[in-house]
């Protein structure tokens, strides 16, 4: 009987990053796969599953309106445990740094099931930023039996914390596998204004903002920066897929209301967002995953945070931290749009996050963990 590997995920970023691994598990000659979604992001999660043809075997449907992080965590534990008892997997894969990933890792640990942590070893150095992600990823590392680290830097973080070297594999990031797959496919944009912007030939600034630690004045600063850029540069198109959190919208959107060259749209399906990133001139974001995706497409990334758990791209020169001060955001965007040499130095920097084969390395490591295969060499090894 082939070992069974259960993959548990709940948010859109998790779904994107586990999709290549789920496909590689299904393609394995020696493993059986089971997928469980928690529904931490409902609509956006379903969209990504549809793009990659994933039909979950179990849906825990944990979300309820206004619930706290603790309530969410408790519901994942409560609803996943009977599934673990019924399926009895030989390993459980979790991804990244969400409440879903840490709660699922703890549920598996309670049943003495080995935990595989995909995208392991990321660290910002500040337990409270990003919040609660930094704490989640550190907690998950303490529970994992196998750490699939995206970069050599992530591996070093784990070794520094005492994780045995034999338990860490540098795979690259599966987000690159997913991105390269999706941008090679054609896409149709549901929003006509976005479609026209993509088909145009002017500069396009893609903006995403949602970080909890920036709620309030930080988000208001982002809104003021976008308004200044739009006013100064009427030929610049700014596309802002607005996060659905009411606090984010209330802080950012009033500043850009009525500006014709700011397109405020609903969150885009993953394939649309990937193609919009490909078309953009500069990406302004506070997202973690976008810091990995955009450099793979040759796009300079300005990160509206004071620190990042993904320092490799900063070191490589394709990502720059700009915080949420509106004057600094405006100055950095202006610099890239006005200075061709500065733009080229970021756009041509080497992306450190992988070669599109992370999932293959990850599955080989899981097969080795379960005694049915051998590891592949680490990325860059």
Active site residue 272: no
Is there a contact between 358 and 18 (Cβ–Cβ < 8 Å)? no
Q: Pick the catalytic residue: 14, 97, 286, 332?
A: 97
Q: How many of the other CB atoms lie within 10 Å of CB of 192?
A: 8
Whole-number pLDDT of residue 130: 86
Backbone angles phi, psi at 126, to 5 degrees: -125, 115
Burial 32-47 (b: 16+ CB within 10 A, else e): ebbbbbbbbbbebbbb
Instruction: Give the pTM.
Output: 0.85
Catalytic site includes residue 119: yes
Helices (H) and strands (E) in the chain, counts: 16, 13
* Phi, psi angle pair for 224, to nearest 5°: -65, -40
Contact 92, 115 (CB under 8 A): yes
Catalytic residue among 117, 210, 310, 376: 210
Q: State in Å, rounded, how far the first CA of the chain is from the last one.
A: 33
pLDDT in the model for residue 169: 98
Is 85 tagged catalytic? no
What is the per-residue pLDDT for 211? 80
DSSP code at position 165: G
Q: Which of 42, 71, 142, 212 is catalytic?
A: 212
CA–CA separation, 304 and 67 (whole Å): 27
Catalytic entry in 119, 292, 309, 332: 119
- Domains of the chain by start residue, with CATH: 4-173+354-369 (3.40.50.2000), 190-347 (3.40.50.2000)
Q: For residue 137, what pLDDT is reported? A: 96
The three-class DSSP label of residue 276 is: helix
Helices (H), the chain: 12-27, 43-52, 69-87, 99-110, 133-143, 152-160, 174-183, 192-199, 217-232, 246-256, 270-279, 289-296, 311-316, 326-338, 340-347, 358-369
- Per-residue confidence (pLDDT) for residue 43, from 0 to 100: 77
- Of the candidates 12, 224, 243, 305, the residue annotated as catalytic is 243
CA distances in angstroms from 171 to 81, 91, 93, listed in the order given: 29, 18, 15
- Assess whether 79 carries a catalytic annotation: no
Catalytic residue among 12, 14, 117, 133: 133
Q: Is 357 a catalytic residue?
A: no
Tokens of 185: 């496919």
pLDDT the model gives residue 174? 96
- Confidence (pLDDT) at 381: 73
156 carries an active-site annotation? no
In order along its 381 residues, the chain shows pLDDT tens digits of 899 999 999 998 899 999 999 999 999 999 999 999 998 878 788 989 999 999 999 999 998 888 899 999 999 999 999 999 999 999 999 999 999 999 999 999 999 999 999 999 999 999 998 889 999 999 999 999 999 999 999 999 999 999 999 999 999 999 999 999 999 999 999 999 999 999 999 999 999 998 878 788 998 999 999 999 999 999 999 999 998 888 889 999 999 999 999 999 999 999 999 999 999 999 999 988 899 899 989 999 999 998 888 888 899 999 999 999 999 999 999 999 999 999 999 998 777 888 899 999 999 999 999 999 999 999 987
């Amino acid at each position: 009987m082939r070992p069974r590997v259960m993959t548990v995920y709940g948010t859109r970023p998790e779904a994107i990053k586990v999709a290549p691994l789920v496909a590689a598990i299904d393609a394995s000659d020696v493993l059986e796969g089971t997928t469980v979604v928690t529904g931490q992001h409902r609509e956006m999660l379903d969209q990504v599953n549809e793009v990659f043809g994933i039909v979950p075997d179990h849906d825990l449907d944990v979300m309820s309106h206004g619930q706290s992080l603790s309530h969410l965590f408790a519901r994942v534990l409560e609803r996943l445990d009977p599934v673990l008892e019924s399926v009895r997997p030989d390993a459980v894969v979790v991804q990244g740094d969400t409440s879903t990933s840490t709660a699922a890792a703890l549920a598996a640990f309670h049943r003495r099931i080995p935990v595989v942590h995909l995208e392991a070893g990321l660290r910002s150095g500040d337990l409270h930023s990003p919040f609660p992600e930094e704490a989640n990823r550190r907690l998950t590392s303490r529970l994992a039996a196998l750490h699939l680290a995206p970069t050599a830097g992530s591996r070093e973080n784990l070794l520094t914390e005492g994780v045995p070297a034999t338990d860490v594999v540098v795979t690259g990031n599966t987000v690159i596998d997913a991105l390269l797959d999706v941008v090679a496919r054609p896409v149709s944009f549901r929003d006509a204004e976005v479609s026209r912007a993509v088909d145009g030939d002017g500069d396009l600034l893609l903006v995403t903002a949602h970080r909890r630690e920036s709620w309030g004045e930080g988000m208001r600063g982002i809104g003021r920066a976008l308004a200044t850029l739009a006013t100064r540069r009427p030929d610049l198109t700014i596309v802002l897929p607005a996060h659905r959190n009411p606090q984010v919208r209330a802080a950012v959107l009033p500043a850009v209301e009525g500006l014709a060259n700011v397109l405020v749209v609903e969150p885009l399906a993953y394939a649309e967002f990937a193609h919009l990133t490909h078309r953009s001139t500069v990406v302004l974001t506070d997202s973690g995953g976008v810091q990995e995706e955009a450099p793979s497409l040759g796009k300079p990334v300005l990160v509206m945070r004071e620190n990042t758990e993904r320092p490799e791209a900063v070191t490589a020169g394709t990502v720059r931290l700009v915080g949420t001060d509106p004057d600094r955001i405006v100055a950095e965007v202006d610099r890239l749009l006005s200075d061709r040499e500065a733009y080229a130095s970021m756009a041509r920097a080497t992306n450190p996050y992988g070669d599109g084969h992370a999932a293959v390395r990850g599955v080989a490591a899981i097969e080795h963990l379960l005694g049915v295969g051998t590891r592949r060499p680490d990325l860059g090894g």
